[in-house]
A and B are shown apart, each in its own frame.
Chain A
Amino acid sequence: MRVEYINPFVECSYRVLKEVLGGADVQRGDLYLKSTAMPVMGVAALVGLAGAVEGRVLFDMTFDTALKVASRMNFEELPEFDDLAKATISELANMITAQAVTKLHELGFQFDVTPPTLFVGEKMEIAALGKNPGAEDNVEALIVPLITDCGKIEVNVAIRERN
Protein backbone atom coordinates (compact mmCIF):
# COMPACT_ATOMS: atom_id res chain seq x y z
CA MET A 1 0.00 0.00 0.00
CA ARG A 2 1.44 3.37 -0.94
CA VAL A 3 2.68 5.23 2.08
CA GLU A 4 0.77 8.32 0.91
CA TYR A 5 -2.52 6.48 1.36
CA ILE A 6 -1.94 5.41 4.92
CA ASN A 7 -1.91 8.68 6.83
CA PRO A 8 -5.23 10.05 5.50
CA PHE A 9 -7.05 6.92 6.61
CA VAL A 10 -5.34 6.76 9.98
CA GLU A 11 -5.76 10.45 10.71
CA CYS A 12 -9.33 10.73 9.54
CA SER A 13 -10.43 7.57 11.37
CA TYR A 14 -8.95 8.91 14.58
CA ARG A 15 -10.27 12.44 14.16
CA VAL A 16 -13.82 11.59 13.07
CA LEU A 17 -14.22 8.93 15.73
CA LYS A 18 -13.01 11.26 18.43
CA GLU A 19 -15.42 13.92 17.24
CA VAL A 20 -18.52 11.72 16.96
CA LEU A 21 -17.86 10.22 20.37
CA GLY A 22 -17.96 13.67 21.90
CA GLY A 23 -14.24 14.09 22.39
CA ALA A 24 -13.82 10.73 24.12
CA ASP A 25 -10.41 9.17 24.48
CA VAL A 26 -9.43 7.25 21.32
CA GLN A 27 -6.21 5.25 21.28
CA ARG A 28 -4.63 4.16 18.06
CA GLY A 29 -3.11 0.68 18.13
CA ASP A 30 -0.09 -0.44 16.09
CA LEU A 31 -0.76 -0.67 12.40
CA TYR A 32 -0.14 -4.01 10.74
CA LEU A 33 -0.65 -5.85 7.47
CA LYS A 34 -2.76 -8.92 6.93
CA SER A 35 -3.23 -11.13 3.95
CA THR A 36 -5.50 -13.89 5.07
CA ALA A 37 -9.26 -14.12 5.30
CA MET A 38 -10.26 -12.25 8.40
CA PRO A 39 -13.17 -13.01 10.72
CA VAL A 40 -15.54 -10.11 11.21
CA MET A 41 -16.32 -9.15 14.79
CA GLY A 42 -20.06 -8.87 14.23
CA VAL A 43 -20.74 -5.59 12.45
CA ALA A 44 -18.82 -4.52 9.37
CA ALA A 45 -19.42 -1.38 7.33
CA LEU A 46 -17.83 -1.59 3.91
CA VAL A 47 -17.12 1.30 1.55
CA GLY A 48 -15.81 0.60 -1.94
CA LEU A 49 -13.20 2.64 -3.75
CA ALA A 50 -12.96 2.85 -7.51
CA GLY A 51 -11.00 4.68 -10.12
CA ALA A 52 -7.24 4.89 -10.59
CA VAL A 53 -7.07 3.26 -7.19
CA GLU A 54 -9.45 0.42 -6.35
CA GLY A 55 -10.33 -1.54 -3.27
CA ARG A 56 -12.38 -1.15 -0.11
CA VAL A 57 -12.36 0.16 3.41
CA LEU A 58 -13.99 -1.91 6.14
CA PHE A 59 -14.95 -0.75 9.63
CA ASP A 60 -15.18 -3.77 11.87
CA MET A 61 -16.55 -3.93 15.43
CA THR A 62 -18.64 -6.07 17.76
CA PHE A 63 -22.41 -5.70 18.15
CA ASP A 64 -21.91 -4.20 21.55
CA THR A 65 -19.44 -1.60 20.31
CA ALA A 66 -21.62 -0.75 17.32
CA LEU A 67 -24.64 -0.22 19.54
CA LYS A 68 -22.70 1.98 21.95
CA VAL A 69 -21.22 4.08 19.13
CA ALA A 70 -24.63 4.45 17.47
CA SER A 71 -26.19 5.45 20.80
CA ARG A 72 -23.48 8.03 21.43
CA MET A 73 -23.85 9.49 17.94
CA ASN A 74 -27.66 9.76 18.33
CA PHE A 75 -27.48 11.18 21.84
CA GLU A 76 -29.83 8.46 23.11
CA GLU A 77 -29.54 4.94 24.41
CA LEU A 78 -30.59 2.62 21.60
CA PRO A 79 -32.09 -0.59 22.99
CA GLU A 80 -31.28 -2.77 20.02
CA PHE A 81 -29.33 -2.74 16.78
CA ASP A 82 -32.24 -1.52 14.71
CA ASP A 83 -32.38 0.32 11.40
CA LEU A 84 -31.42 3.62 13.03
CA ALA A 85 -28.33 2.07 14.57
CA LYS A 86 -27.39 0.44 11.27
CA ALA A 87 -27.83 3.69 9.37
CA THR A 88 -25.69 5.48 11.96
CA ILE A 89 -22.79 3.05 11.65
CA SER A 90 -23.03 3.21 7.85
CA GLU A 91 -22.88 6.98 8.08
CA LEU A 92 -19.82 6.81 10.35
CA ALA A 93 -18.05 4.67 7.74
CA ASN A 94 -19.06 7.11 5.04
CA MET A 95 -17.80 10.12 6.98
CA ILE A 96 -14.37 8.65 7.66
CA THR A 97 -13.88 7.39 4.13
CA ALA A 98 -15.10 10.59 2.53
CA GLN A 99 -12.71 12.69 4.61
CA ALA A 100 -9.81 10.39 3.82
CA VAL A 101 -10.64 10.49 0.12
CA THR A 102 -10.85 14.30 0.22
CA LYS A 103 -7.39 14.41 1.73
CA LEU A 104 -6.13 12.07 -0.95
CA HIS A 105 -7.73 14.21 -3.65
CA GLU A 106 -5.73 17.15 -2.31
CA LEU A 107 -2.61 15.03 -2.69
CA GLY A 108 -3.49 14.34 -6.30
CA PHE A 109 -5.03 10.88 -6.05
CA GLN A 110 -8.37 10.64 -7.80
CA PHE A 111 -10.86 8.01 -6.94
CA ASP A 112 -14.51 7.62 -6.05
CA VAL A 113 -16.34 6.02 -3.17
CA THR A 114 -19.35 3.74 -3.28
CA PRO A 115 -22.27 4.02 -0.82
CA PRO A 116 -21.57 2.08 2.38
CA THR A 117 -22.83 -1.44 2.85
CA LEU A 118 -23.44 -2.87 6.28
CA PHE A 119 -22.94 -6.52 7.17
CA VAL A 120 -24.34 -7.78 10.45
CA GLY A 121 -24.07 -11.34 11.63
CA GLU A 122 -22.05 -13.96 13.41
CA LYS A 123 -19.17 -16.09 12.14
CA MET A 124 -18.60 -13.99 9.04
CA GLU A 125 -15.29 -13.73 7.26
CA ILE A 126 -13.86 -11.09 4.96
CA ALA A 127 -11.58 -12.18 2.14
CA ALA A 128 -10.20 -9.95 -0.61
CA LEU A 129 -9.28 -12.38 -3.32
CA GLY A 130 -6.74 -11.72 -6.03
CA LYS A 131 -6.92 -12.99 -9.58
CA ASN A 132 -6.28 -16.54 -8.42
CA PRO A 133 -8.80 -17.31 -5.67
CA GLY A 134 -7.15 -19.26 -2.92
CA ALA A 135 -5.87 -18.86 0.57
CA GLU A 136 -2.47 -17.87 -0.79
CA ASP A 137 -3.75 -15.14 -3.02
CA ASN A 138 -5.58 -12.69 -0.76
CA VAL A 139 -4.99 -8.99 -1.31
CA GLU A 140 -3.07 -7.42 1.53
CA ALA A 141 -4.98 -5.21 3.98
CA LEU A 142 -3.76 -2.53 6.35
CA ILE A 143 -5.34 -2.81 9.78
CA VAL A 144 -5.67 0.29 11.95
CA PRO A 145 -6.97 -0.66 15.40
CA LEU A 146 -8.74 2.12 17.30
CA ILE A 147 -9.53 1.61 20.96
CA THR A 148 -12.39 3.66 22.36
CA ASP A 149 -14.39 3.53 25.54
CA CYS A 150 -17.15 1.92 23.47
CA GLY A 151 -14.81 -0.88 22.42
CA LYS A 152 -12.36 -1.66 19.63
CA ILE A 153 -12.98 -0.61 16.05
CA GLU A 154 -10.70 -1.91 13.31
CA VAL A 155 -10.29 0.05 10.14
CA ASN A 156 -9.32 -2.44 7.45
CA VAL A 157 -8.04 -0.90 4.23
CA ALA A 158 -7.26 -2.94 1.11
CA ILE A 159 -6.51 -0.76 -1.88
CA ARG A 160 -4.16 -0.94 -4.80
CA GLU A 161 -3.45 1.03 -7.91
CA ARG A 162 -5.06 -0.32 -11.02
CA ASN A 163 -2.25 -1.41 -13.41
Chain B
Amino acid sequence: MFGDINIKYIYGVVESNNRLYILLDIDRIFGARTEEDDEDTPKQDIRPVSHAVNAQESVAAKPAVTSPAPAAAAPVEEKKVSRKDDINYKFVCESLKSFRKFNVSFVNEKWTENRFNEWEKEKGEGKTQLQNESDADVFMKPFYSRCNATWWTKEYADAVYKALPENSAKQISVWNPGCGKGYEAYSLACLLKKRYPNARIRIYGHDIDLLSVSNAPLINLPANVASDWYAPYTTKTVNGEATFDKSIKDMILFEYHDCVNTNALPVVDIIFARDIVSFLPLESQNKLIADFGEKIKGNGIVMLGDNESLAGKDKWVEKATGSVMAFSKQ
Protein backbone atom coordinates (compact mmCIF):
# COMPACT_ATOMS: atom_id res chain seq x y z
CA MET B 1 0.00 0.00 0.00
CA PHE B 2 2.82 2.36 0.82
CA GLY B 3 5.20 1.13 -1.84
CA ASP B 4 4.48 3.95 -4.28
CA ILE B 5 3.48 6.73 -1.92
CA ASN B 6 5.25 9.98 -2.61
CA ILE B 7 7.54 11.01 0.21
CA LYS B 8 5.95 14.45 0.33
CA TYR B 9 2.73 12.91 1.66
CA ILE B 10 4.53 11.33 4.59
CA TYR B 11 4.23 13.65 7.56
CA GLY B 12 6.49 11.64 9.83
CA VAL B 13 7.58 8.31 11.24
CA VAL B 14 7.06 7.30 14.85
CA GLU B 15 8.28 4.24 16.72
CA SER B 16 6.26 3.04 19.65
CA ASN B 17 6.03 -0.30 21.46
CA ASN B 18 8.24 -2.00 18.89
CA ARG B 19 5.97 -0.85 16.08
CA LEU B 20 6.74 1.64 13.36
CA TYR B 21 3.97 4.06 12.45
CA ILE B 22 4.04 6.12 9.27
CA LEU B 23 2.04 9.32 9.65
CA LEU B 24 0.39 10.48 6.47
CA ASP B 25 -0.59 14.03 5.63
CA ILE B 26 -4.22 13.24 4.88
CA ASP B 27 -5.17 16.81 4.07
CA ARG B 28 -2.55 16.91 1.40
CA ILE B 29 -3.31 13.49 -0.03
CA PHE B 30 -6.99 14.18 -0.48
CA GLY B 31 -6.41 17.76 -1.53
CA ALA B 32 -8.42 19.12 1.39
CA ARG B 33 -5.76 21.72 1.98
CA THR B 34 -5.39 24.06 -0.94
CA GLU B 35 -3.53 27.27 -1.69
CA GLU B 36 -6.79 29.19 -1.12
CA ASP B 37 -7.22 27.60 2.32
CA ASP B 38 -3.71 28.63 3.28
CA GLU B 39 -4.37 32.20 2.27
CA ASP B 40 -7.69 32.33 4.12
CA THR B 41 -6.16 31.38 7.45
CA PRO B 42 -5.45 34.32 9.76
CA LYS B 43 -2.11 35.81 8.94
CA GLN B 44 0.57 35.62 11.57
CA ASP B 45 1.68 38.95 12.93
CA ILE B 46 4.86 39.94 11.26
CA ARG B 47 7.51 41.51 13.40
CA PRO B 48 8.28 45.11 12.53
CA VAL B 49 10.72 45.17 9.68
CA SER B 50 13.26 47.36 11.40
CA HIS B 51 14.00 44.74 14.03
CA ALA B 52 17.12 44.23 11.93
CA VAL B 53 18.18 47.80 12.65
CA ASN B 54 17.88 47.02 16.35
CA ALA B 55 19.78 43.83 15.81
CA GLN B 56 22.69 45.77 14.39
CA GLU B 57 22.79 47.95 17.47
CA SER B 58 22.43 45.24 20.04
CA VAL B 59 22.96 41.51 19.93
CA ALA B 60 22.28 41.03 23.64
CA ALA B 61 20.13 38.00 24.39
CA LYS B 62 16.44 38.58 24.68
CA PRO B 63 13.85 36.07 25.82
CA ALA B 64 12.70 33.79 23.02
CA VAL B 65 9.39 34.91 21.59
CA THR B 66 7.06 32.72 19.61
CA SER B 67 4.40 34.33 17.41
CA PRO B 68 1.47 34.76 16.71
CA ALA B 69 1.70 37.21 19.63
CA PRO B 70 3.21 40.38 18.19
CA ALA B 71 6.75 41.00 19.31
CA ALA B 72 7.88 44.28 20.84
CA ALA B 73 7.76 46.97 18.21
CA ALA B 74 11.01 48.48 17.07
CA PRO B 75 11.25 52.25 17.46
CA VAL B 76 10.75 53.04 13.77
CA GLU B 77 7.77 54.95 12.55
CA GLU B 78 5.55 52.96 10.22
CA LYS B 79 2.88 54.28 7.97
CA LYS B 80 -0.34 52.44 8.64
CA VAL B 81 -1.50 52.80 5.06
CA SER B 82 -0.02 50.30 2.61
CA ARG B 83 2.14 51.78 -0.10
CA LYS B 84 1.05 49.28 -2.67
CA ASP B 85 -1.12 51.76 -4.56
CA ASP B 86 1.37 54.60 -4.36
CA ILE B 87 2.70 55.20 -7.87
CA ASN B 88 6.03 56.54 -6.59
CA TYR B 89 6.48 53.44 -4.49
CA LYS B 90 5.71 51.26 -7.48
CA PHE B 91 8.28 53.10 -9.59
CA VAL B 92 10.90 52.55 -6.90
CA CYS B 93 10.05 48.85 -6.76
CA GLU B 94 10.40 48.59 -10.53
CA SER B 95 13.72 50.41 -10.38
CA LEU B 96 15.03 48.07 -7.70
CA LYS B 97 14.07 45.14 -9.89
CA SER B 98 15.75 46.67 -12.89
CA PHE B 99 18.95 47.91 -11.24
CA ARG B 100 19.55 45.27 -8.58
CA LYS B 101 17.19 42.36 -9.41
CA PHE B 102 15.45 42.95 -6.08
CA ASN B 103 11.87 41.73 -6.33
CA VAL B 104 9.39 43.08 -3.79
CA SER B 105 7.12 40.34 -2.45
CA PHE B 106 5.57 39.19 0.80
CA VAL B 107 9.06 38.13 1.91
CA ASN B 108 10.37 41.68 2.04
CA GLU B 109 7.46 44.07 1.46
CA LYS B 110 7.37 45.31 5.04
CA TRP B 111 11.01 46.28 4.89
CA THR B 112 10.57 47.85 1.47
CA GLU B 113 7.60 49.94 2.54
CA ASN B 114 9.36 51.15 5.69
CA ARG B 115 12.50 51.89 3.75
CA PHE B 116 10.50 53.85 1.19
CA ASN B 117 8.98 55.93 3.98
CA GLU B 118 12.46 56.75 5.28
CA TRP B 119 13.66 57.42 1.73
CA GLU B 120 10.78 59.77 1.10
CA LYS B 121 11.56 61.76 4.27
CA GLU B 122 15.19 61.91 3.24
CA LYS B 123 14.68 62.91 -0.37
CA GLY B 124 11.42 64.79 -0.12
CA GLU B 125 8.03 63.92 -1.52
CA GLY B 126 8.06 63.66 -5.28
CA LYS B 127 11.82 63.17 -5.43
CA THR B 128 11.93 59.53 -4.50
CA GLN B 129 12.82 58.05 -7.88
CA LEU B 130 15.96 55.98 -8.20
CA GLN B 131 17.90 57.56 -11.03
CA ASN B 132 20.69 55.06 -11.36
CA GLU B 133 22.38 52.03 -9.83
CA SER B 134 24.10 54.19 -7.27
CA ASP B 135 20.72 55.38 -5.95
CA ALA B 136 19.54 51.80 -5.84
CA ASP B 137 22.60 50.79 -3.83
CA VAL B 138 21.99 53.54 -1.31
CA PHE B 139 18.36 52.52 -1.02
CA MET B 140 19.27 48.87 -0.60
CA LYS B 141 22.17 49.31 1.81
CA PRO B 142 20.16 48.70 5.03
CA PHE B 143 18.58 45.55 3.57
CA TYR B 144 21.63 43.31 3.62
CA SER B 145 22.06 40.98 6.54
CA ARG B 146 24.78 41.21 9.11
CA CYS B 147 28.07 39.63 8.09
CA ASN B 148 26.85 39.24 4.54
CA ALA B 149 29.52 37.92 2.15
CA THR B 150 32.16 38.01 4.87
CA TRP B 151 33.39 36.12 7.90
CA TRP B 152 31.06 36.22 10.90
CA THR B 153 31.79 38.32 13.92
CA LYS B 154 31.71 36.65 17.31
CA GLU B 155 28.59 38.60 18.22
CA TYR B 156 26.68 37.36 15.20
CA ALA B 157 27.95 33.82 15.61
CA ASP B 158 26.79 33.81 19.22
CA ALA B 159 23.39 35.12 18.17
CA VAL B 160 22.94 32.35 15.59
CA TYR B 161 24.23 29.76 18.04
CA LYS B 162 21.51 30.68 20.51
CA ALA B 163 18.86 30.34 17.81
CA LEU B 164 19.83 26.77 16.93
CA PRO B 165 17.18 24.45 18.32
CA GLU B 166 17.59 21.31 20.37
CA ASN B 167 18.25 18.33 18.20
CA SER B 168 19.36 14.92 19.35
CA ALA B 169 19.51 13.38 15.87
CA LYS B 170 22.64 11.49 14.93
CA GLN B 171 22.82 13.24 11.58
CA ILE B 172 22.02 16.88 11.03
CA SER B 173 21.62 18.16 7.49
CA VAL B 174 21.74 21.78 6.44
CA TRP B 175 20.89 23.39 3.11
CA ASN B 176 22.73 26.62 2.41
CA PRO B 177 21.60 28.00 -0.96
CA GLY B 178 23.51 31.04 -2.14
CA CYS B 179 26.64 30.01 -0.21
CA GLY B 180 28.89 32.13 -2.41
CA LYS B 181 32.54 31.81 -1.45
CA GLY B 182 31.70 29.68 1.56
CA TYR B 183 31.75 32.16 4.46
CA GLU B 184 28.31 31.09 5.63
CA ALA B 185 28.83 27.38 5.13
CA TYR B 186 32.11 27.31 7.05
CA SER B 187 30.75 29.53 9.80
CA LEU B 188 27.72 27.30 10.15
CA ALA B 189 29.91 24.21 10.22
CA CYS B 190 31.89 25.59 13.15
CA LEU B 191 28.76 26.59 15.05
CA LEU B 192 27.01 23.30 14.43
CA LYS B 193 30.05 21.32 15.51
CA LYS B 194 29.97 23.21 18.79
CA ARG B 195 26.20 23.00 19.20
CA TYR B 196 25.76 19.35 18.25
CA PRO B 197 29.09 17.73 19.13
CA ASN B 198 27.80 14.17 18.89
CA ALA B 199 26.01 14.49 15.57
CA ARG B 200 27.30 13.98 12.07
CA ILE B 201 26.85 17.31 10.31
CA ARG B 202 26.28 17.64 6.58
CA ILE B 203 26.03 21.04 4.92
CA TYR B 204 25.03 21.38 1.27
CA GLY B 205 26.43 24.66 0.00
CA HIS B 206 24.87 25.65 -3.32
CA ASP B 207 25.50 28.62 -5.57
CA ILE B 208 25.03 29.61 -9.18
CA ASP B 209 28.33 31.51 -9.25
CA LEU B 210 30.66 28.82 -10.56
CA LEU B 211 33.87 30.67 -9.76
CA SER B 212 32.90 31.33 -6.15
CA VAL B 213 31.62 27.87 -5.39
CA SER B 214 34.58 26.19 -7.13
CA ASN B 215 37.04 28.08 -4.96
CA ALA B 216 35.06 27.61 -1.76
CA PRO B 217 36.71 24.27 -0.83
CA LEU B 218 40.12 25.95 -1.03
CA ILE B 219 39.35 28.99 1.10
CA ASN B 220 41.89 30.32 3.58
CA LEU B 221 41.23 32.62 6.50
CA PRO B 222 42.93 35.93 7.17
CA ALA B 223 45.10 35.84 10.29
CA ASN B 224 42.86 38.19 12.29
CA VAL B 225 39.80 36.05 11.54
CA ALA B 226 41.57 32.77 12.28
CA SER B 227 42.54 34.02 15.72
CA ASP B 228 38.98 35.02 16.56
CA TRP B 229 36.15 32.58 17.44
CA TYR B 230 37.14 30.37 14.47
CA ALA B 231 40.45 29.49 16.13
CA PRO B 232 39.48 26.05 17.52
CA TYR B 233 38.40 24.92 14.05
CA THR B 234 41.43 26.00 12.04
CA THR B 235 44.83 24.67 11.22
CA LYS B 236 47.86 25.91 9.33
CA THR B 237 48.77 24.94 5.78
CA VAL B 238 52.38 24.24 4.74
CA ASN B 239 52.57 27.88 3.64
CA GLY B 240 51.63 29.02 7.11
CA GLU B 241 48.17 30.20 6.04
CA ALA B 242 45.15 29.45 8.16
CA THR B 243 42.55 27.09 6.82
CA PHE B 244 39.77 25.00 8.29
CA ASP B 245 40.67 21.61 9.65
CA LYS B 246 39.61 18.45 7.89
CA SER B 247 36.67 17.74 10.18
CA ILE B 248 35.09 21.06 9.19
CA LYS B 249 35.88 20.72 5.49
CA ASP B 250 34.47 17.21 5.39
CA MET B 251 31.12 18.49 6.65
CA ILE B 252 30.52 20.67 3.62
CA LEU B 253 29.59 19.67 0.10
CA PHE B 254 29.83 22.56 -2.34
CA GLU B 255 27.77 22.24 -5.49
CA TYR B 256 27.20 24.31 -8.58
CA HIS B 257 23.44 24.44 -8.46
CA ASP B 258 20.60 26.81 -9.19
CA CYS B 259 18.34 26.64 -6.14
CA VAL B 260 15.17 27.05 -8.19
CA ASN B 261 15.93 23.83 -10.07
CA THR B 262 15.08 20.41 -8.74
CA ASN B 263 17.66 19.05 -6.34
CA ALA B 264 18.26 15.64 -4.90
CA LEU B 265 18.69 16.80 -1.33
CA PRO B 266 17.30 14.73 1.49
CA VAL B 267 15.02 16.42 4.04
CA VAL B 268 17.08 18.79 6.13
CA ASP B 269 17.09 20.13 9.64
CA ILE B 270 18.15 23.68 8.84
CA ILE B 271 17.82 25.87 5.76
CA PHE B 272 20.07 28.90 5.86
CA ALA B 273 19.16 31.18 2.98
CA ARG B 274 20.04 34.78 3.73
CA ASP B 275 19.41 37.52 1.21
CA ILE B 276 18.68 35.17 -1.64
CA VAL B 277 14.91 34.82 -1.91
CA SER B 278 14.42 38.55 -2.45
CA PHE B 279 16.69 38.51 -5.48
CA LEU B 280 14.73 35.87 -7.35
CA PRO B 281 11.84 36.53 -9.74
CA LEU B 282 8.47 36.21 -8.02
CA GLU B 283 7.62 32.86 -9.53
CA SER B 284 10.99 31.48 -8.48
CA GLN B 285 10.52 32.88 -4.97
CA ASN B 286 7.27 30.95 -4.59
CA LYS B 287 8.86 27.83 -6.02
CA LEU B 288 11.83 28.05 -3.68
CA ILE B 289 9.70 28.67 -0.61
CA ALA B 290 7.52 25.73 -1.56
CA ASP B 291 10.72 23.71 -1.83
CA PHE B 292 11.71 24.88 1.65
CA GLY B 293 8.42 23.51 2.90
CA GLU B 294 9.05 20.19 1.17
CA LYS B 295 12.65 19.84 2.28
CA ILE B 296 12.48 20.95 5.91
CA LYS B 297 11.83 18.41 8.61
CA GLY B 298 8.88 18.88 10.91
CA ASN B 299 11.11 20.22 13.68
CA GLY B 300 13.46 22.03 11.32
CA ILE B 301 14.05 25.74 10.97
CA VAL B 302 14.56 28.16 8.11
CA MET B 303 16.68 31.26 8.54
CA LEU B 304 16.36 34.02 5.99
CA GLY B 305 17.97 37.43 5.76
CA ASP B 306 17.60 39.94 8.57
CA ASN B 307 14.93 41.78 6.58
CA GLU B 308 13.15 38.82 5.07
CA SER B 309 10.24 36.94 6.55
CA LEU B 310 8.10 33.91 5.85
CA ALA B 311 5.56 34.74 8.53
CA GLY B 312 2.00 34.79 7.28
CA LYS B 313 2.59 32.48 4.36
CA ASP B 314 1.70 28.79 4.11
CA LYS B 315 1.58 28.32 7.89
CA TRP B 316 5.13 29.31 8.62
CA VAL B 317 5.65 30.39 12.22
CA GLU B 318 8.37 32.75 13.31
CA LYS B 319 10.42 32.49 16.45
CA ALA B 320 12.81 35.19 17.56
CA THR B 321 15.80 34.29 19.69
CA GLY B 322 17.62 37.48 20.45
CA SER B 323 18.25 39.26 17.20
CA VAL B 324 17.88 36.19 15.02
CA MET B 325 14.59 35.08 13.50
CA ALA B 326 13.88 31.49 12.58
CA PHE B 327 10.86 30.05 10.82
CA SER B 328 9.34 26.64 11.24
CA LYS B 329 6.30 24.87 9.88
CA GLN B 330 3.23 25.01 12.04
Contact = CB atoms under 8 A, between A and B. Distances in A.
Interface of A: 1-4, 6-7, 31, 33, 35, 130-132, 136-140, 142, 160-161, 163
Interface residues of B, number: 20
A1 B257 contact: yes
Given A3-B214, A138-B262, A139-B262, A33 B257 contact: yes
B104 interface: no
Given A35-B258, A35-B261, A2 B210 contact: no
Interface in B197-255: 208, 210, 213-214, 216-217, 253-255
Contacts of B263: 140
Contacts of A3: 210, 213-214, 216-217, 254-256
Contacts of B216: 3
Contacts of A131: 6
Given A131-B6, A136-B287, 5 more contacts: A3-B217, A33-B256, A130-B264, A160-B264, A163-B266
Contacts of B214: 3, 6-7
B264 A161 contact: yes
A132 B266 CA distance: 15
A143 to B, nearest CB: 12
A103 B3 CA distance: 39
Nearest to A6: B256
Contact of A33 (B208, B217, B264, B266): B208
A161 B264 CA distance: 8
B257 A140 contact: yes
Interface of B: 6, 208, 210, 213-214, 216-217, 253-258, 260-264, 266, 287
B121 to A, nearest CB: 43
Contacts of B254: 2-3
A160 B264 CA distance: 7
A161 B257 CA distance: 13
A128 B263 CA distance: 12
Contacts of A2: 253-256
A30 to B, nearest CB: 9
B255 A1 contact: yes
Given A6-B210, A6-B214, A142 B256 contact: yes
Contacts of A1: 255-257
Closest 6 interchain pairs by CB?
A: A35-B261, A140-B261, A160-B264, A3-B214, A33-B258, A130-B262
A132 B5 CA distance: 11
Nearest to B287: A136
Contact of B262 (A6, A31, A35, A142): A35
A108 to B, nearest CB: 12
18 contacts: A1-B255, A1-B256, A1-B257, A3-B213, A3-B255, A4-B217, A6-B210, A33-B261, A35-B258, A35-B261, A35-B262, A131-B6, A132-B6, A138-B261, A140-B257, A140-B261, A142-B256, A160-B264
A7 B218 CA distance: 15
Contacts of B210: 3, 6, 31
Nearest to B266: A163
A160 B260 CA distance: 16
Contacts of A132: 6
B2 to A, nearest CB: 15
Nearest to B7: A131
A142 B210 CA distance: 11
A33 to B, nearest CB: 5
Contacts of B253: 2
A132 B291 CA distance: 14
A3 B216 CA distance: 9
B255 to A, nearest CB: 5
A148 to B, nearest CB: 22
A140 B213 contact: no
